[in-house]
Structure 1
Amino acid sequence: MSGQDPFEAGMATRKAVLGEAHVARAEAARDDFDGPFQDLITRGAWGGVWARDTISRRERSMITIALLAALGHDEELAMHCRATARTGASREDVCEALLHVAIYAGVPAANRAIRIARAAFAEIETPQDGPGGDKP
């Protein structure tokens, strides 16, 4: 990330992790109301944290999935489970992360997250109809 603009680095990382189609849909839906939020997450989350090379994308993916599961952020959890196809985190990695969630954040949180992860993995294994699918 050294020397690169945080927005540019964030957009490149966001596309690499979530997929070109996902980012294109988010950008197409952008308006005056959520534009500042989109800029914030692109610069902060994607350009400031995810673009760092201190730990791998696989490790960031597992940490993110565990945190989202523990906090009950279901839509974001599903999105990040689908993103494992691009981050290198395996199903086994996600399972391990969710075992930690069960111990440290509670069995109900992990149980819900396992259900969401299972559905997200099934979704990326099913061919998408037409252009714009999130399959890598």
Structure 2
Amino acid sequence: MSEPTERYKTGLATRRAVLGGPYVDAAVASTTAFNADFQTLITESAWGSVWSRDTISKRERSMLTIALLAALGHHDEVAMHVRATGNTGASMDDIKEALLHVAIYAGVPAANHAFKIAAKTYAEMDAEAKTTG
């Protein structure tokens, strides 16, 4: 692999700040020759180009991301980004509001499923906090 670009380094730092070190470490550790280009692409583009912009806050990006993922039915990613709200500052009420928008603009079934995923993820996060805190 070639030397990481500055955008990759910025993206990796932002990805780590949003998703958490353990998650990113696992993703990096699972990089193979087959998916390395994809990992570089998402680190540079999603995290280094978009998430690293300072035009809107990480809280707002978090809300937008969860709404878009819910609307598109990307359920695993919804859960991952709900977990990330602990790092982005998006509150449970923020996510509720984002998912209400999903119901109106992308459909009740998409929002219904996302509400279930978010509730389950928040319950898991609460349980984890009780065992580690």
Unaligned runs of 5+ in 1: 129-134
> Who is 1:21 aligned against?
22
Cα deviation 1:68-116 (Å, max 9, x = unaligned): 0000000011000000000000000000000000000000000000000
> Who is 1:5 aligned against?
6
Q: How does 1:96-135 map to 2 (within 5 A)?
A: 96-127=97-128
Distance (whole Å) between structure 1 residues aligned to residue 127 and residue 24 of structure 2: 20
Q: What is the CA RMSD across the aligned residues, in angstroms?
A: 1.6
Aligned residues: 127
> Who is 2:32 aligned against?
31
> Who is 1:131 aligned against?
none
Distance (whole Å) between structure 2 residues aligned to residue 89 and residue 117 of structure 1: 13
* TM-score for the superposition, normalised by structure 2: 0.92
Structure 1 residue runs of 4+, over 6 Å off?
none
Deviation at 1:5, TM superposition (A): 1.4
2:70 is paired with a residue whose SS is helix
Percent identity of paired positions between Structure 1 and Structure 2:
60
Distance (whole Å) between structure 2 residues aligned to residue 127 and residue 81 of structure 1: 14
Deviation at 1:123, TM superposition (A): 1.5
Distance (whole Å) between structure 2 residues aligned to residue 6 and residue 35 of structure 1: 16
Higher RCO (C-alpha under 8 Å, 6+ residues apart) = 1
Distance (whole Å) between structure 1 residues aligned to residue 50 and residue 100 of structure 2: 24
Residue 117 of structure 2 is aligned to residue 95 of structure 1: no
* TM-score for the superposition, normalised by structure 1: 0.90
Distance (whole Å) between structure 1 residues aligned to residue 114 and residue 53 of structure 2: 27
